Structure formats: structure tokens, C-alpha cells
Chains A and B, each alone.
Chain A
Amino acid sequence: MAPTISKRIKTLSVSRPVIYGNTAKKMGSVKPPNAPAEHTHLWTIFVRGPQNEDISYFIKKVVFKLHDTYPNPVRSIEAPPFELTETGWGEFDINIKVYFVEEANEKLLNFYHRLRLHPYANSAPNSNSENGHNPSSDHAKDAEVSSVYFDEIVFNEPNEEFFKILMSRPGNALPSNKTDNCVYSKQLEQEEVDKIDIGIEKVDKEIDELKQKLESLVKQEAINGN
């Protein structure tokens, strides 16, 4: 089925929220049978909807390009869920390529995610063995590490066919409140906006102060000049 060439709808954009990232867990003595001996962590990288909604109606496939030391480093996931589970011992940048359905007639979306296996130093205060070679009894070590990003895929000026597809699903409805399984919500959004607004206020204040200072300097100079 060849993509029909359809007109783009000008000045209109449709956005779809997604989250991408990875979760990682330290493997104990129990390891998957085919895992190399030096691998210490089991991790999963994923691209999904904020509430695990179906996103396959606009995403055709997701290709993860792993570190070259993995066998077959380019892993293409052609059906939902778009996730990949592997074992490993090191952190590296994973290249994520998102391909869209043919109706969209869009280019792929290319971005990177830094695989996280170890918790942040400040989140685990006594993590002196951050490289993870040293199995510790600390329960924080065994907790699942996750590094997840929220983003929105914006289709600017989609073609009409794809627009219809996008409009057929209520794709962007965020939950109104934070929940444990989904922090990305209208509540968080509002919190973000509020935080930034506070920042803007502070900056505005400083600008005003500087402005006054500058004006007084100008005046002073005018007096000195005369």
C-alpha cells in the first residue's frame, strides 16, 4: 500500500505525549541463561504512552541501536509494546529511531537516551560502590532504577489523512492528578508552570533592579558630565 500523497493542513499541529526511558534492576545470582557472566544488570528500554496507552496507531516501529559490543546492536521493535529488555554492565547512549505509520508520510524521529543502571549519588547516600561490581546488602541497591523522560511528539502540519487518524483517538488526555504509576499529569504540568512562573518573577525583579540602577547611573553621569 503506497502512501497516498495528501495535502498538509497548514498552521495546525497535533501533539502526542510519549514517555521514553529505561528501567534497570540489579541481577542477583539468578541470571537469564544466555546472559554473559560479566553482565550485572537487567534493563528495559521503552517508548510508550504516558499511561501505557496504545500508540501503535501512529508509530509503526521503534528501532533501538545499542552499543556495538552487543550482538546485533540494531534492534527493531515492529509491534507494541515498543520495548527491549537486555542485560549489561555499563551505561551508554541508546539511539532511538521512531518510525511513523505510512499514512503519516513523515520522516523518522531520531533521539538519544542515556541508559541508566545506577541510582543517582544523592538519591542513594551511601553508594560508595557505584560501579556495581561490589554486591552490597543495601536494599537501595536492589531497588529498580529508572530514568524516564516525558516528551511530546509534535506533528506540525500533518496531512489530512493522518490528521483524521490522529483525531479518531483521544490521544493527549493526561490524568488530572499524579498517581504512582503515572506522574505525568495535569497536576505536574501546572506545578511546572508555577515553578517557571516563580523563576520569571524573580528574573523580572532583578531586571527591574538593574534597570533602576542603570537609570540612576545614567542620571549620575549626566550630572557629572555637566
Chain B
Amino acid sequence: MSSSDIFDVLNIKQKSKSPTNGQTSVPSSSATNRAKPQVTGMQRELFNLLGENQPPVAIQPGSNFKEKMLSTSKPSPWSLVEFKGNTSVTLRHWVKGSKELIGDEPKESAYSKFDQHLSIPTFTKEEYDSFTNETGNQESVVNEKNEKNKWSFEEIEYLFGLCKQYDLRWFLIFDRYSYNESRTLEDLKEKFYHICRNYFRASNPNSPLLSSLNFSAEKEIERKKYLQRLLSRSAAEIAEEEALIVESKKFEMAAKRTLAERESLLRLLDSPHSDQTITQYLTSQGMSQLYNTLLADKTRKRKHDSNIPENPWMKQQQQFAQHRQQQQMNVKKSEVKESPSPKRTKKQRQEIQTALKRKSESAYAEQLLKDFNSDERKALGVITHGEKLSPGVYLRSAKLSTFKPALQNKILAVLQELSLPSRPVMPSYDVMERQEELLRKINTLIDLKKHVDKYEAGMSIAK
């Protein structure tokens, strides 16, 4: 039995094959014949079913040449015409359109609108004298100090001329500058801006331009020095610098983290120790909330630690998932915002209910014990604790708190230091209560010590 039989039974025509049946049968059978000896351990019939169902490889015939250009329209005429631009020379350029359409007389170039010049202030010697005297008494002092830097009006005029000519392209100006004195680029700039500032201040003291005309030659020189140094670093220096930057980033991150931890610790210290009941976590909602916060805590911590390169695909997926989750959260939030009251009241109601239940229960327990005073109760070993503990029997000593192994060892060490046993000799109710308190305090102490050490280490690094 071959696949063609199956096709026959199922009434499927073999479309993908070439049109004639004779041709199909020959290559396919030859193909199976070729493949047959390779296959062992598979039933022949089954293998036959496999063979022809595989999709054929489609080869698209086509040439790689660019298509021939097919254009029926006539090419548009272009003509070489003179245009107005410069009076001393005649210039021509290509313009679209026939000669007749454009006419003979030269027109403005379309680009002439970009031929813009800066408006550099101009002034006569008298004006210059008036506004320099008017504004700059203290500046003249500065000028007198470095006598050799004195500028004559002619030189200033020359400078402004160059500025106008080259549109404040300072390197050009510096390049072309040839006056008696030798000036640096910064000198030129400083003088120019200084005079401009005085000029504008004289004409209009509230001119908005004034603030943009500040120029300090020293700062500029400094800047250029820095730049020079920056650009002349060797490859090794650059590498070292980058490494240092990475290191400093790490430090910053660590500092941030310790700061956050410290803050939480300080908060912990300020607030009284949590002796409050766990009532709020006893409802299913409270429980899930607690779980979520714990989970969030965990994931946050883990995120800090994960420096291991991840599978990028997984990472992307996670990101997608997170994104989606966030969106959902946002949606939920908005929902909550829309209807906060019913949920709140529901939760409250639940809490009130459990509280009431507990109250009635403990009231019942009290009722049972109303004949006994506290001493008698103690003698009978009866306590109404009013808490939600799992029912059943246990040994008192087995309920002593334990901690994570590392912490537990530290706590035991502290206990030893205090020459106290890890298990009280007499684990009665009162003793155990005190012991619990002690353990809690030791835990706080260890936590605090850790933070102080960290803090000190951080300070010594900062120094």
C-alpha cells in the first residue's frame, strides 16, 4: 500500500505534482527506491506514506536584471541661462524650461534668499568713546592693567570689518587678521563681545541680547585645554577611564542600595517593635497581600543579584510578560479607582467578622474559666491566648523561634556570650515568652551591627 492508495481512498487529487500521471510515478518511485535501503526498523508501508507528502521545494524562476525603462513622455527641456548674482562676473546655471519660456534677461537665483548677512553694529570713534566711557569705568581699570593689550580704535574698526566680512566665522577672521599686534583668537572674540555688550547697553540697557554676549577668554582657553587633553588621550588611558567609570557606577549603585537599606533600618529602629497581632493577614485577602509583598520583595532582591547573562529570548519574553502584567495592573488600578468603596467595605466587613468571631470564641473560653482566678488558672495550666494558633498538641520548647542557619548560628553565639543556653532549662510559658523577646532583640542587634559595619565600611571607602 502506498500513499497514492490513501489519496485514492480519501478522494484527494495530487495537485502539487506535474500534470501527467506517468511523469509523477517515475520520479517518486525512483525516489522511494533510492531511500529504501537507508531505512531500517520502519514499516515499508509507513515509510511510503512519508515520502510523497513532503512539500516540494519551490524554485522561483526569474532574472536579476533591472527592468527596461518604459516611458512614453518626452523629456522636459532644460536651458542654460545667466542669473543675477555677482556684478563682476557672469554666471550661468541650468533652469527647467525652454529658452523661450524663461526669457532673455537674467533673473535672481532661487538660492539668493539664503545669501544672508549678520548685522554687525557699526559706530564712529565718537560713539565708541562715549559708550566705552559711559559703561566701563571699572573695565577701563582692567584695561589699564594690561597695557600691552590696549586696542586702538583703528584696530577695533579693522576687527569689526573682518567680522562683517566673514560673518563671525572666527577661524577665518583669526586667519586673516594681520594688524600690528599679534592677537589670539580668544583676544579677538573677547574684545568683540565686550564692545558689543557695551554698545547694546548704551543703546538699550534692557536689551535681551546682553545676556548672550558674555564671553570669558579665560574660560574659553581652559575649555580648549580640556578638550586638547581629552582628545590627546592614548588608547590605554581611554580604556582605563572607561573601567573607572564602570567602577564608579558600581559604587554609586552600591551606595544607593546601602542607603535604601539604612533608611529602612532607621525606620525599623524608630518604630516600636512589631508586637501587633497578625489579624490583618488572617483573612484570605490579607494573606494574598502579604504573599504578594513578600514575593515582590524576593523578586526585587533577586533582580539586584542577577548579573548572569540571560537567554536574550527569555529576557524578551519576560519583558513582554511584564509589560502585559503592568498593563493589566493599570487596568485593575483604574478599576479600583473607579470603585474603591465596595472592595474596601468588603474587606473591612470580613475583618470585622473574624474579629467578632474571635471575640465570641475567647468570650466563650473566658466563660468556661470564670470560676478560676489567675493563680488557679496558672496552677491548672490554662491560658486564653486570644490568638489564632493551629489546634493540636505540641511541646512548648518545640515552638521556640528558629532563624535562617547563618543567622541562627550568630544568635547562638550571642546567647553563649551571654552565658545562656539555646534551650531554656525550664521552657514554661513565662520563660518562653522572655526567651522569645530575647531572641527578637538579639536578632535586631545582629541586624543593627551588620548595618553599622556596612556603614563604616562605606564611610572609609568614601574617604
Given A184-B426, A207-B441, A207-B448, A109–B269 Cβ distance below 8 Å? Answer: no
Whether A207 lies near B394 (C-beta < 8 A) is no
Whether B426 pairs with A188 at a CB distance below 8 angstroms is yes
Q: How many of B's residues come within 8 Å of A, CB to CB?
A: 61
Separation in Å of the A49 CB from the closest CB of chain B?
A: 12
Interface string of B421-440 (1 = CB under 8 A from A): 00011111111001101100
**Quick check: is A114 within 8 A (CB to CB) of the other chain?**
no
Distance of A81 from chain B, by nearest CB (Å) = 20
Q: List A contacts of B434 (CB < 8 A).
A: 192-193, 196-197, 200
- Residue of A8, A204, A220 near B391 (CB, 8 A) is A8
Query: Do the beta carbons of A16 and B381 come within 8 Å of each other?
Result: yes
The smallest beta-carbon distance between A7 and chain B, in angstroms, is 10
Is B420 part of the binding interface, using a Cβ–Cβ cutoff of 8 Å? Answer: yes
Look across to chain B and name the residue whose beta carbon is closest to the beta carbon of A50: B426
A1-15 to B contact mask, C-beta < 8 Å, 1/0: 000000011111111
Docked-complex contact A15 and B383, CB < 8 angstroms: yes
Number of A-B pairs whose CB atoms are under 8 Å? Answer: 177
On whether the beta carbons of B393 and A109 are closer than 8 Å, the reply is yes
- Chain A residues whose CB sits within 8 angstroms of the CB of B390 once the complex forms: 156
A124-141 interface bits toward B, Cβ cutoff 8 Å, 1 = contact, 0 = none: 000000000000000000
The answer to whether B445 touches A210, judged by C-beta atoms less than 8 angstroms apart, is yes
Please determine whether B448 and A199 come into contact, CB atoms closer than 8 angstroms: no
- Asked whether B462 lies within 8 Å of A224 as measured between CB atoms, the reply is yes
Residues of chain A within 8 A of B456, CB atoms compared: 217
Query: In this assembly, does A79 line the interface, its C-beta being within 8 Å of a C-beta of chain B?
Result: no
Tell me the bound Cα distance from A40 to B45 in angstroms. Answer: 80
**Interface: B380 (CB within 8 A):** yes
Chain B proximity mask over A161-174: 1 for CB below 8 Å, otherwise 0: 00100110011110
Q: Which of B365, B398, B424 contacts A192 (CB 8 A)?
A: B424
6 residue pairs from A and B, CB less than 8 Å apart: A11-B358, A152-B395, A156-B392, A196-B431, A214-B266, A214-B269
Measured CB to CB, the residues of B under 8 A from A are 262, 265-266, 269, 358, 361-362, 364-365, 368-369, 378-399, 414-415, 418, 420, 424-431, 434-435, 437-438, 441-442, 444-445, 448-449, 451-452, 455-456, 459, 462
- 8 tightest A-B contacts by CB? A172-B381, A10-B361, A157-B391, A152-B396, A12-B365, A15-B381, A199-B418, A196-B434
